[in-house]
Chains A and B, each alone.
Chain A
């Protein structure tokens, strides 16, 4: 196998941070090459350089033996480099065919394009209807649009940026089959992920980045996941400590909750029933858009539920507003960090006051007690190792992982009776994710009930005691995680709840 792309000494510095420092590696023709690293390790900058979105300060690239320095993504595409973005670069109001056409240099006429989309998508097992609006597609279907857009240009190198984070296990299998087929046909694939098991299953070479530098190259099939993780993080990761499994009384009880969807892309909740005991972690899995937002807003009190459906320690709180629910001990950390969990342009102190006022008694005679609020924000920063200049920093200025530690920590330190979190480690690097999971488990062992809504199944398997799947607004009966296999979870997520209903 010969080399398709060679990177030599790529360096890119931004004010205050060197994103890539003398990065060199090469990708084999027809190989599936993994690029591993935590958030902030420089993966994104590196692939943006290859895709022509970022110009390196120093260093050269060679593609197919000749010099390669794309001025913009169009030049990169013309050279045969295509990319599937982590945050989809799709236009919701446009049709599949229009979206595909926008990503091509010389798209054929509308009729030809529609036919070719149909052909290619079926040939690779990713069926798509070219006429549909992207806004109505699921995350998995949207990713197909991105992939088909790339495939129509016969790429020599396909860059995939965290492609599986929004897919169900079955969809991941389909994607992997497609990628393997592509590789057999001679397309090189640069695969970015921090899901180590996936990389071990799919890739035949790996480059590990840390702090902008290459810290290792290996064949992921011959190295254990633990070893990969340690090289990626640079320290030994401790698996979450097991905790005493003693569970107490039911603290949160949701009975036959029905609610209409939040947006037209959401799902209505249908007869959702949940019961969580003190000291227990309930994991709720499912692909986004199946009712997660609806469930979280119903529990947090942002939307009121029909009377009698939600009880906290026996008290009906269905009609209580968020502040009343906080006072009663039900806290929530929503998925969207900037704009929902935290106000982006306000300082950490102010953000601490937003949810902490009631339980931490941060007011005096109706006025905010800024000193106590600042102390509370500092307490969160210290306890959760939030990397920031101090509580006066704006929430927006923190990296995703640090802000996530802050918003989770803010709720955990208020000592809730029940904590509901949605996607607690979405887009967070491995070390921060481990810290957040540990904090949730510690909170459970102190006797709180925890509900974790997540799309990351490995995470749910790791921390939850029981697992339930949310599919089109219906919640399956919960099953002890110890009894579960990935296959069974996949079936539950697909909606086959009642195959063997095992109520815990």
Chain B
């Protein structure tokens, strides 16, 4: 095994790219869950975003148009979920699972003519001399804009929930929808907005896979990333900074095990492939176990709200 072939700089730079789709989906889902809604359809919204973004990217030649359409596509799926669960009061778990199956089917239908095509991808942001700095230049200043957008989203969500009044209302709705309703807040409206935000984020995450990371369309290309995003939200105890840690940890192990495979590590490939999932879950379980775990869950998570006053 030749470990010297693994460059730490490149490893860190590529783990950020590998983690970005999951980070986007997870931060969106975290907002949804803080508002008290459990949307298990992240995988379906991601893959819908992936195909919508890819089609739009190919047809217009602009990856930016691709990301925009991906966000709209993810949000449209989320709107469907929101309408069913918030207005027709369908079961959130069943509806979310159905959304995933629907998204997988819909995406392979939409993607029929697009297998094997390459789309225009995003260029890295060129920060001139900064990007040419050794090590730091490649890790901090050498990424495409979506990586920076995802980090800005994490910081923004963190500040929104912690400092803004709208964020307080969102948390209040997730803690006790009856009390929020009694105080005159619009529970369904807040939840719909959160669900739409979560869908748009998941769509962006999916498009990042098909437009930047791979960049190609293959059926089922999200390969469980949406489920990992869901798990990260839970084990991150619904906190933005821990979502970031979880996503980058997952991305890091993913990249590391790929590097180990090419470096010829004498471990079964299956074990290496499973490593990101195992390590992420174990680490986050340890973190959340120490921090009181589920005690942090929004109290009304997944409970249907009906204004019967």
> Could you tell me the distance in whole angstroms from the C-beta of A46 to the nearest C-beta in chain B?
13
Main secondary structure of the interface of A (DSSP, over half): loop
Which residues in window 47-69 of A have CB below 8 A to B?
A: 48, 52-54
Q: Is A92's CB under 8 angstroms from B299's CB?
A: yes
Q: Is A54's CB under 8 angstroms from B179's CB?
A: no
> Could you tell me the distance in whole angstroms from the C-beta of B266 to the nearest C-beta in chain A?
49
Residues on B with C-beta less than 8 A from A92 are 175-176, 299
Q: Is A72's CB under 8 angstroms from B299's CB?
A: no
Query: A73-B182, A107-B165 are contacts. A94–B309 as well, Cβ < 8 Å?
Result: no
Residues on B with C-beta less than 8 A from A73 are 182-184
- Residue B171, interface by CB 8 Å: yes
Q: State in angstroms the CA–CA spacing of A34 and B298 once bound together.
A: 37
Q: Is B168's CB under 8 angstroms from A98's CB?
A: yes
Which residues in window 161-193 of A have CB below 8 A to B?
A: none
- Residue A89, interface by CB 8 Å: yes
Q: Is B309's CB under 8 angstroms from A91's CB?
A: no
Cβ 8 A contact of B179, one of A74, A77, A91? A91
Q: State in angstroms the CA–CA spacing of A103 and B165 once bound together.
A: 12
Residues on A with C-beta less than 8 A from B33 are none
- Residue B79, interface by CB 8 Å: no
Residues on A with C-beta less than 8 A from B172 are 91, 94, 98, 102
- Residue B283, interface by CB 8 Å: no
- Residue B43, interface by CB 8 Å: no
> Could you tell me the distance in whole angstroms from the C-beta of B159 to the nearest C-beta in chain A?
14
Number of A-B contacts (CB under 8 A): 53
Q: Is B179's CB under 8 angstroms from A88's CB?
A: yes
Cβ 8 A contact of B175, one of A72, A94, A103? A94
> Could you tell me the distance in whole angstroms from the C-beta of A78 to the nearest C-beta in chain B?
10
Which has the most chain B C-beta neighbours within 10 Å: A88, A92, A102, A103? Answer: A102
State the interface size on chain A (CB cutoff 8 A).
23
Q: State in angstroms the CA–CA spacing of A177 and B298 once bound together.
A: 37
Which residues in window 148-196 of B have CB below 8 A to A?
A: 165, 168-169, 171-172, 175-176, 178-180, 182-185
Q: Is B184's CB under 8 angstroms from A72's CB?
A: yes
Which residues in window 78-115 of A have CB below 8 A to B?
A: 85, 87-94, 98, 101-103, 107
Q: Is A89's CB under 8 angstroms from B182's CB?
A: yes
Residues on A with C-beta less than 8 A from B176 are 89-92
> Could you tell me the distance in whole angstroms from the C-beta of A180 to the nearest C-beta in chain B?
26
Q: State in angstroms the CA–CA spacing of A54 and B299 once bound together.
A: 26
Which residues in window 9-32 of A have CB below 8 A to B?
A: none
Q: State in angstroms the CA–CA spacing of A101 and B184 once bound together.
A: 13
Query: Hey, what's the 0/1 contact readout for A328-357 against B, CB within 8 Å counting as 1?
Result: 000000000000000000000000000000
> Could you tell me the distance in whole angstroms from the C-beta of B85 to the nearest C-beta in chain A?
20
Query: Which of chain A's residues has its CB closest to B178's CB?
Result: A89
Residues on A with C-beta less than 8 A from B168 are 94, 98, 101-102
A-B contacts, 21 listed (Cβ < 8 Å): A54-B309, A72-B184, A73-B184, A77-B184, A87-B178, A89-B176, A89-B182, A90-B179, A91-B171, A91-B172, A91-B179, A92-B175, A93-B299, A94-B175, A101-B165, A101-B168, A102-B169, A102-B172, A102-B183, A102-B185, A103-B183
* A-B residue pairs, 4 tightest by C-beta: A73-B184, A89-B179, A89-B182, A91-B175
Question: A-side interface residues toward B, CB under 8 Å?
Answer: 48, 52-54, 72-74, 76-77, 85, 87-94, 98, 101-103, 107
Question: B-side interface residues toward A, CB under 8 Å?
Answer: 165, 168-169, 171-172, 175-176, 178-180, 182-185, 298-299, 309
Q: A85-B182, A89-B176 given. 18 additional CB < 8 A pairs? A: A53-B182, A53-B309, A74-B184, A88-B179, A90-B176, A90-B179, A91-B175, A91-B179, A93-B171, A93-B175, A93-B298, A94-B168, A94-B171, A102-B168, A102-B169, A102-B180, A103-B183, A107-B165
